[in-house]
A and B are shown apart, each in its own frame.
Chain A
Amino acid sequence: MAAETGTPTTLTLKSNDDELFSVAESAAILSVTIRNMVEDGCAGGVIPLDNVDGKTLASVITYMNGISAIPADEEKKKSYRDKFLSDKDFETLADMVLAANYLNMSCLMDAVSAKIAQVMEKKSVGWVRRKFGIENDYTPEEEAAVKEEHKWTFEGVETDDDN
């Protein structure tokens, strides 16, 4: 365990593509995974995060710094999260779900899941298949039958622009 000193402790995190990041311990321990490592005294050197790439980790660290700077005010934290996620594309959000899961950050996980749901809301079935990498295992007849059951849910669907 790092000695208790007056100066804030900094941790070094390493992404799976070997990028190094410095982050204040107080912000990094929003991740339960990192907090456990710190509590177990494993944070002396570099903390390797094998499942997070540099681009995503940079984003997560921005979030950690941003949210930990906000005092205990759930409304403000929520509006920070909304703003933080507002300009992220689907691929980035997908990477962040995996990172939030690996780092065990439930608030981020909730917010990103909700954001992905919001992005998906009016999308077509084809868009969802492409973005989630899902193979259509229906025969054309089966698919038509499933569609027929709730035909009205296909009204007002956005045309695919793949964004």
Chain B
Amino acid sequence: METKPSISDHQPRIIRYPAPAETYLEDHIEEILSRLPVKSLLRFRCVSKSWRALISSKRFIKAHLEHSRKDTTNFTRHVIVSTSTPPGGIRLKHCSLPPLFCGLVADSSDVDFPITNRVGSVCIRGNCNGLVCVVIDKKHIYLWNPSTRKFKEMPHADADVDSNSDDTTKAIIGFGFDESNEDYKVLAVFNVGRDETNVKIYSLRTNSWKIIDVFKDGLTLSETGTLKGSDSRGWDIVSLDVGSEVCGTVAQPSYVESDLAPWFGLFGGCLCVFYHHPKIGVDVWVLKEYGVTESWTKMAGRPEFKPLCIGPKGEILVVYGQGFLIYSPKDYRFRLIVMRNACPFLEADVRYESLVSAFLLS
């Protein structure tokens, strides 16, 4: 061993060095495992009791979620689409993102959606932290983690809402995570008549719905963290903080006014707004940081393009009609992508993998 100073002759500045204690691969297991896809992690629960305990722990699930969220390689991201399959059924298909960005043709596979006895219709109503909110046969709402294949059916939302609104298709559904209470919430806005809405919010923690006194007009909604909507009067963008359940407005970018109502989407988890100018085109604005008005960024857009997510080299995956294309903002080029067995599709969403369970909270 080289001249290693003993504790007594340490000079104070040497304290800054890491103790040369021996470390083992075991000490870095969490660091490594938090980068694995969910399928591998669920398999490796069999490695040992301590691995199973680690992989099931709240702290690890959170660390893994953070990696999935930040992952710029899109290694653990998937596109999920609903397609109509004759006769009359709707199926969910999915495809991992990297092949979509790399090639011209990518294979899709059937999502192993666990509810097989009801396949009349399947609507994707947002996703958050790896959980997807799906509505089956227009009234059964599920929170489902496609990576773990676990799902939970929510109690009916319409039990004490006016009888003419018992159809969830008439409701606008939004899904979000309430960070302050570590809870997942689903917002349902039922239009019960002209200028009248019933708004209910579901909490996974209490596993129940309650009526909240917000949004008295018809709304269109989209998801994540805070739910955002559009007030039909004067094109305000209104929001609901799913934590405090208080609504507010979102300051808009300095867009060019148009007679047409703007519409909304999500792009890489950020709110984006489309301002349509007939015969001229569409301005797409993305709110890069929620709550920061200066972070509104204008993107090149076309009326028929709906941006979905950003690729590792800055390319953008765009929904175009009932298919996909990859758009490169650097040189304004785009190419069509075929997602085999899944085109045309009805709706598309991008989710990332997580171990988050709809059962942990309740």
Contacts and interface: CB of A to CB of B under 8 A. Distances in A.
B23 A36 contact: no
A134 B4 contact: no
A23 interface: no
A14 B49 CA distance: 39
B2 to A, nearest CB: 4
Contacts of B29: 132
Contacts of A136: 47-48
Contacts of B42: 149-150, 153
B23 A125 contact: no
Contact of A137 (B14, B17, B48): B48
Interface in A113-143: 113-114, 116-117, 120-123, 125, 128-129, 132-138, 143
Given A117-B33, A134-B47, A36 B17 contact: yes
Nearest to A125: B46
A160 interface: no
Contacts of B149: 152
Contacts of A132: 25-26, 29, 47
Interface string B294-311: 000000000000000000
A119 to B, nearest CB: 10
Interface string B31-46: 1110111011011111
A33 B18 contact: yes
A125 B52 CA distance: 12
Query: Which secondary structure dominates where chain B touches chain A?
Result: helix
Interface residues of B, number: 40
A144 B145 CA distance: 24
A117 B17 contact: no
Contacts of B2: 14, 48, 50
A152 B16 CA distance: 48
B37 A101 contact: no
Contacts of A133: 25-26
A143 B14 contact: no
Nearest to B71: A114
A51 B37 contact: no
B22 interface: yes
Interface in A73-132: 75, 94, 97-98, 101-102, 104, 109, 113-114, 116-117, 120-123, 125, 128-129, 132
A143 B40 CA distance: 16
A138 B29 CA distance: 19
A120 B32 contact: yes
A83 B47 CA distance: 30
Contacts of B52: 146
Nearest to B36: A117
A104 B46 contact: no
A37 interface: yes
Nearest to A75: B313
Nearest to B45: A146
B20 interface: yes
Contact of A114 (B22, B35, B37, B47): B35
Given A51-B20, A98-B24, A153-B39, A116 B46 contact: no
B194 interface: no
Contacts of B51: 134
B18 A104 contact: yes
Given A40-B16, A51-B22, A153 B28 contact: no
B46 A138 contact: yes
A7 to B, nearest CB: 27
A138 B48 contact: yes
A121 B31 CA distance: 14
A122 B43 CA distance: 10
A55 interface: no
B260 interface: no
Given A113-B35, A121-B36, A153-B42, A98 B47 contact: no
B148 to A, nearest CB: 8
Given A120-B32, A129-B47, A157-B43, A102 B23 contact: yes
Nearest to B21: A51
Given A50-B4, A94-B25, A102 B49 contact: no
A134 B48 contact: yes
B18 A125 contact: no
10 contacts: A40-B14, A50-B1, A50-B20, A102-B18, A113-B28, A113-B35, A125-B47, A138-B48, A143-B46, A150-B148
Given A117-B32, A120-B32, A137-B48, 7 more contacts: A50-B1, A97-B32, A101-B28, A113-B28, A132-B47, A134-B48, A146-B46
